[in-house]
Structure 1
């Protein structure tokens, strides 16, 4: 009789979080990526959503080589906060919007493999931003899922994000649809905060000057009449 030996437990696949490749092709692309990431992260703060930048998206359990690294991806109905990577089968949600900072060198992949993959994964919107205008004349081009296929977006609106998008130099500008308010990029936010602080300081100085004038009046003429 042959003795039965226990089968060795199959090792779990390893899902890397980095591959040593640069985050972006140029500084311009990197700045557009980081700005978009931070603006959307601030916009969705407090909601059950996360915004990830240049992190591996794994879409097939058990196959670590089947992955892609979107420049910016927005996922709804998940725990807020960062991840080392994103596994669809663990989180239970597919990204709803993906942004790629495209160039002449990545055009083929962005409009070929990635566009087809995101379409198959049912990513609701796919935006291509060409900050240097290398192949997209208007610099910004979006696709929206209709049924099983992508259709070109013609109104510069993101339906899932409820934002209007605009090209502003080498960055994407984001505007709320409900109020028309612009979502400030980090530099603009700093400027706005500095302006607010300055305005408050000026208001305090004016109040102090008025109080000093009132004190001098009281010294000379007494209390103001009722």
Structure 2
């Protein structure tokens, strides 16, 4: 029997780079975790209304309003993320963002809103409040639609000179130049310069519809006035024609009487 010996060739050196040493795996920053937007419809409505009102208000400014989107705050660590209910970032490009990475935008959110509840109290009050404070978010607002734990449903905090959150007593946002107040299950926003309330899309639509109705009513009144004026003009013309006919009839009668030898005294 002839023994067969397997000969293994020695690995040859390669000039190709090592995948683990020189080619880093791409870091994925997800834009969704599959979780619902909020725990109740009222919480969802409060978030969406705040988003829409602030988008309309800030549409002429260099600002982007985010709602329930991931905020990544440590580059290279995709688990270092949080999803504020609503946040505003100033001085970044106005476009649609799948998420927001602080190191890319080079701007920290200036203001963040959390629509809170008893179930999210610990996260909103402890973890998020501390995180936003450390990140340097100028203002942090907690809105509790059902008044489960936030006094009077709404409370804002602003960084002081030491970088510590202090309660905002007058409910006025210096970041937005707006006064905020709880209005049933939503946040009402009022301009500081003229006291005008910022309207929601529903309120704007109602205002537009009411303006259209007033315009239509004004058109109807004008048309009715024109019709009345035309009727009065027609009536005046009819009276003029009638008077002219009476004058002609009187002239013909006077002529017949003169032909009969009856003298008619001219009363004019």
TM bucket normalised to smaller: over 0.9
- Return the alpha-carbon distance in structure 2 between the equivalents of residues 33 and 92 of structure 1: 25
Q: 2:211 aligns with which of 172, 182, 196?
A: 196
Matched, 1:156 2:171: yes
SS of corresponding position for 2:151: coil
- Return the alpha-carbon distance in structure 2 between the equivalents of residues 2 and 194 of structure 1: 78
Q: Residue 21 of structure 1 corresponds to which residue in structure 2?
A: 35
Cα distance, 1:194 vs structure 2: 1.2
Q: 1:31 aligns with which of 45, 48, 67?
A: 45
Contact 1:143 1:150 in 2 (8 A): yes
Q: Residue 135 of structure 1 corresponds to which residue in structure 2?
A: 149
Cα distance, 1:4 vs structure 2: 4.5
- Return the alpha-carbon distance in structure 1 between the equivalents of residues 195 and 25 of structure 2: 53
Matched, 1:219 2:234: yes
- Return the alpha-carbon distance in structure 2 between the equivalents of residues 137 and 61 of structure 1: 37
- Return the alpha-carbon distance in structure 1 between the equivalents of residues 66 and 58 of structure 2: 12
TM-score normalised to the size of structure 2?
0.80
TM-score normalised to the size of structure 1?
0.94
After superposition, residues 80-95 of structure 1 pair within 5 angstroms as 80-95=94-109
RMSD after superposition: 1.3
Relative contact order: is structure 1 or structure 2 higher (C-alpha 8 Å, sep ≥ 6)? 1
Unaligned runs of 5+ in 1: none
Q: Residue 243 of structure 2 corresponds to which residue in structure 1?
A: none
Unaligned runs of 5+ in 2: 1-11, 238-268
Matched, 1:113 2:127: yes
Between the two proteins, the alignment pairs up a number of residues equal to: 222
Give 1 or 2: higher helix fraction.
2
Matched, 1:76 2:90: yes
Cα distance, 1:3 vs structure 2: 4.9
Larger Rg: 2
